[in-house]
């Protein structure tokens, strides 16, 4: 009974923190599906990732906040409704996730596991030979709490994202991928440095202080 009571207290504390979170409130006000939109926004404002006419692939896209942000950046104008995209999409956005994804106008969505060859082939077909300008990856496995196992799962997803990016990015294209400061962090940095000319770690302000997540931004294929 004590364990159950403690669990309830933890859940209640998390919920209160979540509801009082600045970025949660801002996301609700500006119409984003999740606070994660502001992580990508800060990275974009720092490095200038998105420009009209680009082809962008969003891996681990659900619930869609990153695709929403990119859609707004590639739209012709913004309506009076805060953040709402208007006009035709000037570019291409292809999103993929194992979870369901509420449609976003102009965004092509593929539901499936990125680790499955059949799903990867669907993504390849959606790209249809077009050079990709930016690959953004918020992929993360369900964590087991076993450090060695979780690190291996994270590493595998990053490796798959890197392989896809190196096959499809334009020469000066960009890969943004989520990693964690775990035992394999330095190996993942080395992997990206072996494939890209520039690799920059960024921990956006919207990342929770307690989170070990960091985003590696890799630019320019070797």
Q: For residue 177, give the H/E element and its range.
A: strand 169-180
- SS3 (DSSP) at 73: helix
CB 182, CB 149: distance < 8 Å: no
- Cis amide linkage into residue 63, ω under 30° from 0: yes
How many Cβ atoms are within 10 Å of 79's Cβ, its own excluded? 11
Q: Is 39 a catalytic residue?
A: no
Q: Which of 9, 28, 29, 178 is catalytic?
A: 178
Q: Locate 222 and state its tokens.
A: 């070797």
∠ CA(131), CA(47), CA(171), 5° rounding?
Answer: 25
Q: Match 């009209």 to its residue by tokens.
A: 52
Of 93, 73, 91, 98, whose CA–CA distance to 83 is shortest?
Answer: 73
CB 171, CB 132: distance < 8 Å: no
Ramachandran region, residue 71 (left: φ > 0; alpha: ψ -120 to 50; beta: rest): alpha
Rounded to whole angstroms, how far apart are CA atoms 93 and 136? 11
Residues involved in catalysis: 178
């Amino acid at each position: 009974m004590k364990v159950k009571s403690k669990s309830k207290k933890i859940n209640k504390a998390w919920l209160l923190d979540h509801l009082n979170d600045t970025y949660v409130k801002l996301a609700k006000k500006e119409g984003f599906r999740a606070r994660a939109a502001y992580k990508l926004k800060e990275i974009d404002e720092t490095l200038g990732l998105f420009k009209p006419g680009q082809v962008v692939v969003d891996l681990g896209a659900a619930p869609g906040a990153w695709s929403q942000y990119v859609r707004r950046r590639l739209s012709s104008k913004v309506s009076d409704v805060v953040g709402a995209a208007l006009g035709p999409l000037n570019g291409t956005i292809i999103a993929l996730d194992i979870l369901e994804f509420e449609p976003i106008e102009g965004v092509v969505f593929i539901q499936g596991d990125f680790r499955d060859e059949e799903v990867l082939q669907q993504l390849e077909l959606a790209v249809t030979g077009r050079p990709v300008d930016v690959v953004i990856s918020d992929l993360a496995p369900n964590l087991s709490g076993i450090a060695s196992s979780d690190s291996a799962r994270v590493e595998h997803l990053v490796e798959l994202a890197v392989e896809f990016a190196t096959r499809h990015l334009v020469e000066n294209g960009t890969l943004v991928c989520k990693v964690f400061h775990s035992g394999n962090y330095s190996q993942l940095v080395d992997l990206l440095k072996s494939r890209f000319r520039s690799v920059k770690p960024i921990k956006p302000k919207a990342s929770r202080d307690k989170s070990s997540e960091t985003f590696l931004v890799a630019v320019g294929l070797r």
